[in-house]
Amino acid sequence: CRFFFLFFKFLLHEGTDSLTNGQIKLVGPGSARCSGRLEVYHNNIWGTVCDDDWDSNDADVVCRQLNCGTSLGSLHSAKFGEGTGQIWLDDVQCTGEESSLTSCQHRGLGSHNCGHGEDVGVVCSGKKKNEEKKNIHYFILFPQGIESH
Ligand SMILES: [Ca+2]
Ligand SMILES: [Ca+2]
């Protein structure tokens, strides 16, 4: 029963698109799911990330968080267009091992000395297809596992 509950929760989580603080996305002209201008969600607002100290370690964390493989590019100077409004992160210092961008060292959410001409972009290798296959196997095998006990 407990297993089914967890499984159901997993499905619900996949099915809804609720936003949580620290969630990230890649947007802008020429963007795709795994490449684009980086935006971070915090307190109901999407904001951008400044390119000061932006490098491949930081971009690797973004790609991992998005389930997009590893980074092929960490782009400065709004290569995927300029965002508007909030700039959430500046002076980002990831080691490359963090599981989410907001757990990296940075100057403090909303604290920056930047303009939107410095918005960062990320290009990831992308590997979503493999992950989707894994999820389908999980779906099929899980109920059979419970039956056998
Ligand atoms: Ca950095
Ligand atoms: Ca700065």
Please report whether residue 12 resides in a domain. Answer: no
Please report whether residue 13 resides in a domain. Answer: no
pLDDT reported for residue 79: 97
Q: How far is the CA of 115 from the centre of ligand 2 (A)?
A: 10
CATH code, 82:
3.10.250.10
Per residue in 124-136, pLDDT (tens digit) is: 999 654 545 555 5
The number of domains in the chain is 1
pLDDT reported for residue 18: 83
Q: How far is the CA of 93 from the centre of ligand 1 (A)?
A: 4
Which residues of the chain carry a pLDDT beneath 70?
A: 1-17, 127-149
* Structural domain range at position 44: 18-147
Residue with tokens 């999407």: 46
pLDDT reported for residue 27: 98
Please report whether residue 7 resides in a domain. Answer: no
pLDDT reported for residue 109: 97
Taking ligand 1, which is a single-atom ion, which protein residues have CB atoms under 5 Å away?
53, 55, 58, 92-93
pLDDT reported for residue 23: 97
Q: How far is the CA of 112 from the centre of ligand 1 (A)?
A: 14
pLDDT reported for residue 146: 52
pLDDT reported for residue 127: 67
pLDDT reported for residue 34: 98
- Which of 115, 122, 51 shows the shortest CA–CA distance to 83? 115
Mean of per-residue pLDDT scores for the chain: 86
